[in-house]
Structure 1
Amino acid sequence: MNPAVAARWQELAPLLDRLLDLDPAQRDALLARDVADESLRALLRELLAREAQPGILDRSGADYAESLIAAAAAAPLTVGAYRVLDLIGEGGSGSVYRAEREVDGYVQRVALKLLRVGLRDPQEQARFRRERRILARLEHPAIARLIDGGFTAEGVPWFALEYVEGETIVRWCDARALRVDERLRLFADVCDAVEAAHRALVVHRDLKPANILVDAQGRPRLLDFGIAKLLDDSEREDDTRTGLRRLTPAYAAPEQFSGDGITTATDVYALGVLLHELLTGQRPALRRGDATRRPSQLADDAAAAAARST
């Protein structure tokens, strides 16, 4: 890794995560608007330029994993004890693959997530293992449980999570034209799962429809607590600040952008955005002065009614 990149990685990582989720025109706009430091902006442009070039830790987890798959065309790619089957999702923090392993004579299928970071420092690896233990203790019927985790030979962290077959909560509700009361009951189940995580002192930090699937039985399942942190004094402030900047802008609370402390209210904010979207078909929009517009000013009444049997 470029020494200049390594020296400023804590500043670069959260910005790079945001940029990788945008198209080229949006990336240029974000760089011009949010990155005043010229040298930092140049390093970000250098990293973005490498996106289409070969490499390992200087590239995203998605590119890294895809290059491994291409290189292993003649033999199945394995991560830990798992054989990777196919790509099922990508996001700012990593890429998710369907994978499987044989356990006591039967095949166990998992969602295997390769993160977009490389951890070679022993302290960083210890922090990752600590977070893995946190995730493993989360037990709730609506939370996809952590099964395993570790590092590739190149130091890329991975999680193996319970595999959930389903649709995102908004798409599932709209496809069945659920009534408002039915949507609210489903949303209450999501809130119950989030509350259970909060009781375990874990904040999700990235609640959004893509991380909430509804299975064939109509039960919501919350995915990806991989960026969660314990809400206690054992976390150093710089650790917390690095983690909290890994976010999805449309659902992130204001403190996630400003770098202020993260609390359970961060998840409550994201749940509010989700509820708005479930009921109106759109996320809340801001006017100048950050005043939210009333849902009645935003919603396409005919489209919302058609999608909601109301």
Structure 2
Amino acid sequence: MTLRVTFLGTSGAIPTAERNPSAIHLNREGEQLLFDCGEGTQRQMMRFSTGFSISRICLTHVHGDHVLGLPGLLQTLDFNDRAEPLTIHTPRGTADNVRRLISALDTRPAFSLEIEEVGEGDLVHRGEEYEIRTFPTEHRTRSVGYALIEDDRKGRFDRERAEELGVPVGPAFGRLHAGEPVELEDRVVEPEEVVGPPRPGRRFVYTGDTRPADATIDAARGADLLIHDATFGDDWADRARETGHSTAREAGALAREAGVERLALTHVSSRYAGDASRLAREARESLSGGEAFVADDGMEIDVPFPE
């Protein structure tokens, strides 16, 4: 089952020739979600072939480098005769800001557009075998992060054991795997006899702009992919604290504590436009052997199941 992340924008507040402002596209088995929508996001979607069939946009906060792409994207969707509804989630107390930004074009999309405020720890959306929840972040404005958490999957079916117990090959296997007992001539075979324990689904976490925070550790516990603010390196650690951002080393330490499988560093300051390799190096040193990398615009990551 596909869980694919495409980095549409990985720059800090100031874009560079290589990096667009913040935007993350996620495709889960054909359902498309957009996290943040910096200036030029619609062009990045065309450039990197994600398509425009997004069902919802999740905003971490309403600073310009995370939302200025909304008017253009919505206008393009309207010009393309979109009929499906679209929901925009935004932190509590910011819906009017988003409405004013969209209405600045003096146009109203023909498709249904809902703007919903979300608080800290809210269930944002319940999808097919997954949910999206918010968690509090620490920035200089109202802000949240988002965690997409898949339901547990069925345990592995032990065909060999089932056959040893006399279960006939065929539909009975499916019933046992679905949790139903199967009655044989001499006994009843219970599902737990041939089906292993539930297996975890995947966990995707995106922080947006933030200082390192305990709430992020909780949300990212065991995450298969954590996308974390890493605006600065050690050389600008004071600036990170002043502006409500994180260093790469701090992101690495947080990922280590949360037991994260993979850490993607994003929101890279234009100070590192020529070479951001130091950010990956500092994060890896802090992560102590885990996988950490600086995300680039256009990078595509498939998130596997945690087997």
Q: TM-score range by the shorter chain?
A: under 0.3
Report the structure number with the largest CA radius of gyration.
Answer: 2
Question: Normalising by structure 1, what TM-score?
Answer: 0.24
Question: Normalising by structure 2, what TM-score?
Answer: 0.25
- Identify, as 1 or 2, the structure richer in strand: 2
